[in-house]
Amino acid sequence: MKNQLQLFLLMLGICFAASELKGQTLKSDIAYVENGHARHKLDIYLPENRPTKNLPVMFWIHGGGWQVGDKSDVALKPKVFNDRGLILVSTNYRLLPEVTMEELTADVAKSLGWVHKNIAKYGGDPNRIFVGGHSAGAQLAALICIDDRYLKAEGVSFQVLKGCVPVDGDTYDIPKIIMTAELRQTLYGGEMFTFGHRQKFGNDPKKHVDFSAVTHVAKGKGIPPFLILYFPGNPETRAQARRLEEVLAQADVPVKAFGKSDSNHGRLNDDLGRPDDPATKELFAFIDPLIESK
């Protein structure tokens, strides 16, 4: 009976996945590094039944604490963005602790660099790229859209970026989240983290500052517009979203932070695309005008 139930659940999952992909063409496991690591791969979701030429692109970065996660964790996004007339690219990258945070971030930039150079072959517009990500992916999305060193290394200018959508990240200002988490442990008890944010980001105060997106915000850099989505029930992601919003606004970068109350960290991301979802309405209001702008 147990095996039959497992088989049923597996088949149900396959059917659900197939239904979610209806109307999309998936080009999977494309290498963005020649002879690279097994995780140097990305997936491209193309809309069916419409001309695929010069379509804008959403480049998506999965979450998972920089230690787990996969490019297949896209929930409703293929249908959402394809129906909106965008190509969705979802990327993998090497993970901690196998590589350093520098190498991990460089992987994401290298993947976006591959997209910029090659997406026209799939009908995409290399000069209209949105960048988004959830959780750890939100930190990576914000960083590469603000600290231009990563994309410059791949020959990509901020001019090709139309917008950035980080979803419920808690590490736009890393020193603040480290201080908050460790103070909580000190005040309320519990062992100190052995592989928390302090260690993940290099266990070096200078690195903590350097990996913080807020550090690199400045006027006149060409930083793209931002929509920062967050769950206000989590004080860390709420505070970090407001912190990033404040710093971007001070640099005259178009930005809006939107908190969706009836949600949680995972559901906020997975619900993007549902017609009655408030965060989805904000997402559409953000990307639609930018798609049309040149």
pLDDT in tens, 88-137: 999 999 999 999 999 999 999 999 999 999 999 999 999 999 999 999 99
Residue 13, pLDDT score: 42
- The 3-state DSSP class for residue 120 equals helix
Residues 6+ apart with CB under 8 A from 186: none
- The 3-state DSSP class for residue 271 equals coil
Residue 90 is assigned to a structural domain of this protein = yes
Residue 174 pLDDT > 70: yes
Q: Which amino acid is at 50?
A: R
Confidence label for 190 from pLDDT (cuts 50, 70 and 90):
confident
Residue 83 pLDDT > 80: yes
Number of domains in the chain: 1
Residue 91 is assigned to a structural domain of this protein = yes
228 sits in which H/E element:
strand 226-230
pTM of the predicted model as reported, rounded to 2 decimal places: 0.91
Averaged over 25-54, what is the pLDDT?
93
Residue 254 structural domain = 23-292
Residue 218 is assigned to a structural domain of this protein = yes
Please state which of the ranges 50-54, 165-169, 255-259 shows the lowest mean pLDDT.
50-54
Beta strand 226-230 with 255-259 is: parallel
Phi, psi dihedral angles at 46 (to 5 degrees):
-110, 140
Residue 5 is assigned to a structural domain of this protein = no
Residue 43, pLDDT score: 98
Residue 164 pLDDT > 60: yes
Q: In this structure, what CATH number is given to the domain that contains residue 95?
A: 3.40.50.1820
Averaged over 25-51, what is the pLDDT?
94
Cα 45 from Cα 91, distance rounded (Å): 11
Residue 184 is assigned to a structural domain of this protein = yes
Are 122 and 52 in contact by the 8 Å Cβ rule? The answer is: yes
List the one residue out of 159, 109, 170 whose CA is nearest residue 134.
Answer: 170
Are 88 and 65 in contact by the 8 Å Cβ rule? The answer is: no
Residue 18, pLDDT score: 38
Average model confidence (pLDDT) for the chain? 92
Residue 1 pLDDT > 80: no
Confidence label for 264 from pLDDT (cuts 50, 70 and 90):
very high
Output 182 or 226, whichever has higher pLDDT: 226
Distances (CA, A) of 94 to 118, 150, 176, 261, 282: 21, 16, 26, 33, 31
Residue 81 is assigned to a structural domain of this protein = yes
Residue 46 is assigned to a structural domain of this protein = yes
Residue 13 is assigned to a structural domain of this protein = no
